[in-house]
Amino acid sequence: MMQKFVSSFVRNFGARGFLLLFLFALLTPKSTGAQQPPLNLMPMPANVQAGPGSLSIESGFSVALTGYTEPRLDRGVERFLGQLKRQTALLVNLKPAKSAQATLVIHTDHPSKEVQEVGEDESYTLEVTSAGAKLTAPTPLGTLHGLQTFLQLVDISSDGFAVPAVNIQDKPRFPWRGLLIDSARHFTPLEVIRRNLDGMEAVKLNVFHWHLTDNQGFRVESKKFPKLHESGSNGQYYTQEEIRDVIAYARDRGIRVVPEFEMPGHSTAIFVGYPEIASTPGPFKIDEEWGVMDPAIDPTKEQTYKFLDQLIGEMARLFPDRYFHIGGDEVNGKAWDSNPKIQEFKKAHGYKSNEDLQAYFSQRVQKLVAKHGKAAIGWDEIFVPGAPKDIVIHSWRGPDSLAAAAKQGYRGILSNGYYIDLMWSAARHYAVDPLKSAAADLTPEQKQLVLGGEATMWSEYVNWENIDSRIWPRTAAIAERLWSPQSVTDVNSMYARLEVISQRLEWLGLTHRSQYRKMLQRIAGPATPEEFAALKTLTDVLEPVKDYTRGESTSWKAIATSPLNHVVDAVPPESDAGRRFGELVDKFVSASCQDGDTQVRLRAQFLAWRDNDAKLQPLAQRSFLVREAAERSQDLSALATAGIAALDAIAKRQPQPDNWKAQQLAIVEQAKKPKAQLLLIPTQAVQKLVEAASAGGACTDAK
Amino acid sequence: MMQKFVSSFVRNFGARGFLLLFLFALLTPKSTGAQQPPLNLMPMPANVQAGPGSLSIESGFSVALTGYTEPRLDRGVERFLGQLKRQTALLVNLKPAKSAQATLVIHTDHPSKEVQEVGEDESYTLEVTSAGAKLTAPTPLGTLHGLQTFLQLVDISSDGFAVPAVNIQDKPRFPWRGLLIDSARHFTPLEVIRRNLDGMEAVKLNVFHWHLTDNQGFRVESKKFPKLHESGSNGQYYTQEEIRDVIAYARDRGIRVVPEFEMPGHSTAIFVGYPEIASTPGPFKIDEEWGVMDPAIDPTKEQTYKFLDQLIGEMARLFPDRYFHIGGDEVNGKAWDSNPKIQEFKKAHGYKSNEDLQAYFSQRVQKLVAKHGKAAIGWDEIFVPGAPKDIVIHSWRGPDSLAAAAKQGYRGILSNGYYIDLMWSAARHYAVDPLKSAAADLTPEQKQLVLGGEATMWSEYVNWENIDSRIWPRTAAIAERLWSPQSVTDVNSMYARLEVISQRLEWLGLTHRSQYRKMLQRIAGPATPEEFAALKTLTDVLEPVKDYTRGESTSWKAIATSPLNHVVDAVPPESDAGRRFGELVDKFVSASCQDGDTQVRLRAQFLAWRDNDAKLQPLAQRSFLVREAAERSQDLSALATAGIAALDAIAKRQPQPDNWKAQQLAIVEQAKKPKAQLLLIPTQAVQKLVEAASAGGACTDAK
């Protein structure tokens, strides 16, 4: 039976000047009378209109390709059906159907570019009724995106699997939506690259920025300069054939591959094999530590540019993308300062600073990149006077830097605010917008020069095992920021959808959730179910320290030789349990601390935390890795005791003496201190309760 | 500091006439004063002697191969180090060390056979002290086994990763320790085969019995008869190259591959392409249902034997193993009865029964197998008068059948009791011994003819997704039965070690635990953490129905076309939570129902179960797959209420009226009924409490 469309609301998005309809219909599904859940789409499409009823997904489900077709689309459909099978376990039809009978009819208009370009049409339209679905797109890029949207719409219902009737018109806000993976500091196995490309496809990211060289490794086979990978990688590098496979794999998913070859800093791994282009005498060995290193390319030697000409030429042929990333960041100048010849060169050329010298180097390298048919992209530092207009500024500095470049007609992308290695919350990344602050005041034409952004997965403390949990699900929130209209900013909605997407990413083969459990099993060793549960109760409310805290502490510098098997390596960057508990406390406080049910839930959680430490003790005695977190367990116990005291005090509705408050806050402060590079998350929530209690239970919105 | 050896005990195993030392030392580890945990080895070695101290496993860990070496050993060591890295996340040395400096020195005496044979020497000795480890073995087979034992010994300690000092002399009780995987009813992807071979290696199984053909599919490429795989497999078959890869993969792990080609029954898939050798007229199509099918090969035509001669010849060349499995089971005779020519043939040859006719067929096929240089193995039915002495009887009938064959000088292996598709508990399989019942009375020489056994993974309700959870961890218990001394029978010890091994098997890539969670996520759809927890609380105490109950019920017969996405497909064959709860109740009852702590734990569990149904309801309304189990949820709630009533009554220490008991037992009986092919496990435990309560709390050992 068809259902009636009940409610809708409309939003007006000024930025792009078009009207967006967001129609979260409240429908009455067939059998239960319950509310229809919201659509779990991420990124949220530009325009969604819910219709009546839903399309059943059954074993007979089939797909037809019409209009323009190509093998990539066939493979895309095959992948789509494979994923549909995984999501539902239905035995769906693997053979393409004739269009009239197909459940999903796809129409693609014309091919996309042979080498994917920035700003190609990625739009699509998806129309689903209870009778069937139609996906239309100008190019295969839109078709691929539309298939992902369809997969996100498939859900279980009271009758079977189904897609709600919906009409979606969608296109991205920014044309450059990337993920950087640093395969230099820790090598990324191909299997890990591939599953992350799958994840990128699922959330419509379209640039894989491959950070291939750094002080800790040169990860590409070079036939011109074989000592680059032979001496500079400890045997962990990608052959050119493997690179080509990854590029093809990415192209199949509508993803460009932009390689990065860091210079003139971040180059120690080059010097191991080719010390002659370094600014200081060798021999060199691969760096194994955290931090900014001194070695730098000698920008004064002609030999340097001969070398780079050949290397860039070889790599420009290997990577078909129009853009070639030349790095450029974090040259501390020490190597140049210590070399008298370089000092002479600076004087002779009238360069006052090392920045001037780097600008000279940048100009020359940009010419080499242009010579080999590419446009250069590089970190803020490459934005030097006289740079060609086709370069792209990759900003670690922020939107103001992009705005300054745009005013001079230069294009840019943002990574400042998207450094996912800093362990920020999804909400914090989500709030970062490439067109905020100074960029907000650009003219519409200048705004077009801000191409988008990239999440950056620097890998100092990241390997095959925990890289997924550092990238996902937070990167899906960044993907939404770069795809969806600027006005899509509801954090609660984001988190609700992120939870669903996160689970689905695991179905694709990503391991951000499952590996957490396995790492905890390693940390625990043989444990009773109760002991293991106690460990997980603790670690579920821990997060790694933020920003560069870990790298800056002396005992954690040996990034290449230290095992990543600690609790800090296992816990996700953002504690879901901690966030939810914080929301519960906010709810309680903002409702004048009078909701009895919430009070009971808070108390039950505090009791569990308080008693958890005793349960964890036997394990902490047996396992050195559990013991590292034992103090955090005691802190959690103490924090919970303070929380119970606060609830008790609130119940009395009488102001508490100052020393009571000071006592409780001292416990909170103690719990706030990082230990074993771990933060205990519920501190803020307990502090709110203590403050509410000390004010005599006079609770107000403490947000 | 060296630790002192404290205690030991000695067991005498008569069967093989050698003295076995089981020394579970109670050592005082360095820092904590706690008891040293028992060794988590499975299968338990023939002879274990604990020593003082332990060997630290650190980043510098290295391995040296001495004595006889071959590439298989190099690869074995590489795999070993890879696994060690996964277990510890240490950056262990990947290059072989010189023997003097290596942490683990391996000495292999001489090569094993080029094609692995039944009964080759698989023994090894492993000596670990705090200074290093030494593994010695006559052949690579023993070396490979010893490496697995070492990996099982690596554990986390209060100081780091370590292997306890130990002296192990080990060899298998039986030379044939197999796992059958039925790739016919549901195709098994190669990746699944490979990870299960990894699992087999971990628990020292040495025969992969590959059930490749059946009514539902012919899964091998045949170059002689291409219509076999083209028409008989729905496109899901293994190429000969893939088969060779699997054989090499297995050989690397000390595992033989025995192929099975079912005949004269279980052959419908053959007839789709080659109806001319069937007993009834075609056309045929691949069977899609559960059960014993009528079609059978026509044993009276000479054409049949010409066909089989060529097919067996081709497959005998493809599979190097000495043994060739010819099936032989479950011919219902209907196809023969309906064919007048076959009836004439029977008369002409004086065959009184279809069994006689099958014996004739078996004799001829066994001759063909011999002609192609192989020995036949087949189900009980192939044991016919005049069978060559080198055949192996594969018994689905039981040890008595093996004993009867052994008395006539025939060899056999047992699968009766090891049918893991029947969803029995690990304990039940563990109790099955090939040398029990009639076989126990055989002479020592006759006992030698009982070669071992095989777990059989028939795949009616098993696909890529849940096959691991049907095989593991229970097959590890069967592996122990076939490897370890007959006297190793302590079920509690088995379960304790099984829990640890189960976790480690996931580290190898098996998915028996992680996929359960993913399947529940599919069943739930988008759910709050509380809703998902409620679903898992329920499913954790459910088991699939046993034996052939599911296949015999009309609505579950379509094995090839029904999705395996139900709760019954997701839940493990054995409920750990249910078993543990049963143990807790036994403990409570056998301690006169007076242990207050246990009483509190039981009550808390009952309360959680009682209230779980309400939490699950919203999900049951949204998801049709949750709804299937909704009645079980209500039953659990009712059962918990009865449990609470029993605890209350016990506390009163007064006999309860008869109608009270009847009322409670009615609830229990209701809960015992299978629904949605699911059993609710804690029924027995609640019944014990009700009986104890009705007897006025006069609790005794109710086991």
CB–CB contact B564 A514 (8 Å):
no
pLDDT for residue B22 is more than 50:
no
- Cα four-point dihedral sign A455, A461, A462, A468: negative
pLDDT band at A386 (very low <50, low <70, confident <90, very high): confident
What is the residue type of B205?
L
Identify the bridge partners of residue B370 per DSSP, sorted by sequence position. none
Task: Centre a 10 Å sphere on the Cβ of residue B386 and count the other Cβ atoms it contains.
Answer: 8
Q: Six-digit token pair at A669?
A: 């402060």
Instruction: Give the whole-angstrom CA distance, residue A360 versus residue B605.
Output: 73
CA distances from B97 to A493, B61, B80, B129 (A): 56, 9, 14, 19
Tell which wins on pLDDT, B28 or A678.
A678
Q: Would you state the pLDDT for residue A21?
A: 31
Q: Six-digit token pair at B672?
A: 């015992």
Across the A/B interface, how many CB contacts are shorter than 8 Å?
Answer: 109
Instruction: Give the whole-angstrom CA distance, residue B219 versus residue A150.
Output: 34
In a mutagenesis test of the B interface, which of A624, A625, A627, A628 is the best target, namely the one with the most B β-carbons within 10 Å?
A: A624
Over the stretch B174-200, which tens digit does the pLDDT of each residue have? 999 999 999 999 999 999 999 999 999
pLDDT band at A284 (very low <50, low <70, confident <90, very high): very high
- DSSP state letters, B421-443: GG---HHHHHT--TTSGGGGGS-
Over the stretch B632-657, which tens digit does the pLDDT of each residue have? 999 999 999 999 999 999 998 888 88
Are the C-beta atoms of residues A642 and A668 closer than 8 Å to each other?
yes
A156 vs B90, B618, B623: nearest CB: B623
Q: Would you state the pLDDT for residue A37?
A: 57
Instruction: Give the whole-angstrom CA distance, residue B455 versus residue B419.
Output: 6
pLDDT for residue A702 is more than 60:
no
CB–CB contact B525 A627 (8 Å):
no
pLDDT for residue B5 is more than 60:
no
A522 vs B87, B160, B627: nearest CB: B87
B506 vs A156, A518, A621: nearest CB: A518
Over the stretch A291-312, which tens digit does the pLDDT of each residue have? 999 999 999 999 999 999 999 9
Mean pLDDT of B682-691: 97
Instruction: Give the whole-angstrom CA distance, residue B364 versus residue B375.
Output: 13
Q: Which residues of A touch B155 (CB under 8 A)?
A: 525-526
Average pLDDT along chain B: 92
- A115: closest CA among A260, A314, A315, A319? A319
What is the distance in angstroms between the Cα of B89 and the nearest Cα belonging to chain A?
Answer: 6
What is the distance in angstroms between the Cα of B527 and the nearest Cα belonging to chain A?
Answer: 8
CB–CB contact A526 B34 (8 Å):
no
Q: Six-digit token pair at B156?
A: 């986390």
What is the distance in angstroms between the Cα of B88 and the nearest Cα belonging to chain A?
Answer: 7
Over the stretch A170-183, which tens digit does the pLDDT of each residue have? 999 999 999 999 99
A158 vs B155, B526, B621: nearest CB: B621
Q: Which residues of B touch A56 (CB under 8 A)?
A: none
What is the distance in angstroms between the Cα of A525 and the nearest Cα belonging to chain B?
Answer: 6
Q: Which residues of B touch A499 (CB under 8 A)?
A: 526
pLDDT for residue A3 is more than 50:
no
What is the residue type of B275?
P
Over the stretch B36-74, which tens digit does the pLDDT of each residue have? 557 999 999 999 999 999 999 999 999 999 999 999 999
- B279: closest CA among B332, B228, B226, B341? B341
CB–CB contact A526 B565 (8 Å):
no
pLDDT for residue A339 is more than 50:
yes
What is the residue type of B180?
L
- DSSP state letters, A35-49: PPPPP--SSPPSEEE
What is the phi/psi pair of residue B12, to 5°?
-110, 120
What is the residue type of A243?
I
Q: How many residues does chain B have?
A: 703
Q: Would you state the pLDDT for residue B92?
A: 87
Q: Which residue of A has its CA nearest to B565?
A: A89
What is the distance in angstroms between the Cα of A199 and the nearest Cα belonging to chain B?
Answer: 17
- A305: closest CA among A355, A362, A351, A257? A362
Mean pLDDT of A521-532: 96
> What is residue B587's DSSP assignment?
H
pLDDT for residue A641 is more than 60:
yes
Instruction: Give the whole-angstrom CA distance, residue B91 versus residue B315.
Output: 44
Average pLDDT along chain A: 92
Are the C-beta atoms of residues B103 and B130 closer than 8 Å to each other?
no
pLDDT band at B703 (very low <50, low <70, confident <90, very high): very low
Share of chain B above pLDDT 70, in %: 94
A621 vs B32, B580, B624: nearest CB: B32
What is the phi/psi pair of residue B214, to 5°?
-165, -175
CB–CB contact B34 A565 (8 Å):
no
Instruction: Give the whole-angstrom CA distance, residue B257 versus residue B244.
Output: 10
pLDDT for residue B10 is more than 90:
no
Find the catalytic residue in A58, A127, A242, A330: A330
Q: Six-digit token pair at B191?
A: 């990746």
Mean pLDDT of A419-429: 98
Share of chain A above pLDDT 70, in %: 94
Q: Which residues of B touch A622 (CB under 8 A)?
A: 32, 34, 37, 156-158
pLDDT for residue B9 is more than 80:
no
What is the phi/psi pair of residue A293, to 5°?
-100, 160
Q: Which residues of A touch B506 (CB under 8 A)?
A: 518, 521
Q: Would you state the pLDDT for residue A420?
A: 98
- A445: closest CA among A402, A484, A409? A409
Q: Would you state the pLDDT for residue B387?
A: 87
Q: Which residue of B has its CA nearest to A624?
A: B158
pLDDT band at A95 (very low <50, low <70, confident <90, very high): confident
Are the C-beta atoms of residues B266 and B327 closer than 8 Å to each other?
yes
Q: If residue B407 lies in a helix (H) or strand (E), which one and from where to where?
A: helix B399-407
Q: If residue A481 lies in a helix (H) or strand (E), which one and from where to where?
A: helix A474-483
Q: Would you state the pLDDT for residue B401?
A: 93
pLDDT for residue B109 is more than 80:
yes
A129-138, B357-366, B381-390: which has the minimum mean pLDDT? Answer: B381-390
CB–CB contact B59 A564 (8 Å):
no
What is the residue type of A351?
Y
Q: Which residue of B has its CA nearest to A40?
A: B526
Instruction: Give the whole-angstrom CA distance, residue A425 versus residue A579.
Output: 10
User: Is A330 a catalytic site residue?
Assistant: yes
pLDDT band at B258 (very low <50, low <70, confident <90, very high): very high
Q: Where are the alpha helices (DSSP H) in B203-297?
A: 227-232, 240-252, 268-273
CB–CB contact A158 B627 (8 Å):
yes
Over the stretch B445-479, which tens digit does the pLDDT of each residue have? 999 999 999 999 999 999 999 999 999 999 999 99
Q: Where are the alpha helices (DSSP H) in B20-61?
A: none
Residues 6+ positions from B105 with CB-CB distance below 8 Å = B63, B64, B66, B99, B132, B133, B134, B135
What is the residue type of A263?
M
CB–CB contact B156 A622 (8 Å):
yes
CB–CB contact A521 B503 (8 Å):
yes
CB–CB contact A625 B155 (8 Å):
no
Give the torsion through C-alpha atoms of A8, A13, A17, A21, to 10 deg: -20
B158 vs A156, A517, A624: nearest CB: A624
Q: Six-digit token pair at B454?
A: 């095989």
Q: Where are the alpha helices (DSSP H) in A623-682?
A: 624-627, 630-652, 658-672
Q: What is the ipTM of this complex?
A: 0.91
Over the stretch A162-220, which tens digit does the pLDDT of each residue have? 999 999 999 999 999 999 999 999 999 999 999 999 999 999 999 999 999 999 999 99
Instruction: Give the whole-angstrom CA distance, residue B686 versus residue B643.
Output: 6
What is the residue type of B417?
G
CB–CB contact A523 B156 (8 Å):
yes
Residues 6+ positions from B672 with CB-CB distance below 8 Å = B679, B680, B683
- A87: closest CA among B255, B458, B519, B254? B519
Mean pLDDT of A45-57: 96
Q: Which residues of B touch A500 (CB under 8 A)?
A: 526
Q: Would you state the pLDDT for residue A611?
A: 97
Mean pLDDT of B232-260: 98
Q: Would you state the pLDDT for residue A94?
A: 73
CB–CB contact A89 B563 (8 Å):
yes
Q: Which residue of B has its CA nearest to A29?
A: B622
- Cα four-point dihedral sign B261, B266, B272, B276: positive
CB–CB contact A526 B621 (8 Å):
no
A119-133, A680-694, B3-17, B400-414: which has the minimum mean pLDDT? Answer: B3-17
Q: Six-digit token pair at B662?
A: 């009847």
Cα maximum dimension of chain B: 84
pLDDT band at B700 (very low <50, low <70, confident <90, very high): low
Find the catalytic residue in B58, B242, B288, B330: B330
Q: Which residues of B touch A524 (CB under 8 A)?
A: 156
Instruction: Give the whole-angstrom CA distance, residue B432 versus residue A409.
Output: 80
What is the distance in angstroms between the Cα of A517 and the nearest Cα belonging to chain B?
Answer: 9
pLDDT for residue A384 is more than 90:
no
What is the distance in angstroms between the Cα of A200 and the nearest Cα belonging to chain B?
Answer: 21
What is the distance in angstroms between the Cα of B102 and the nearest Cα belonging to chain A?
Answer: 19
- DSSP state letters, B285-352: ----SSS-----B-TT-HHHHHHHHHHHHHHHHH--SSEEE-------SHHHHT-HHHHHHHHHHT--
| CA A2, chain centre distance (Å) | 40
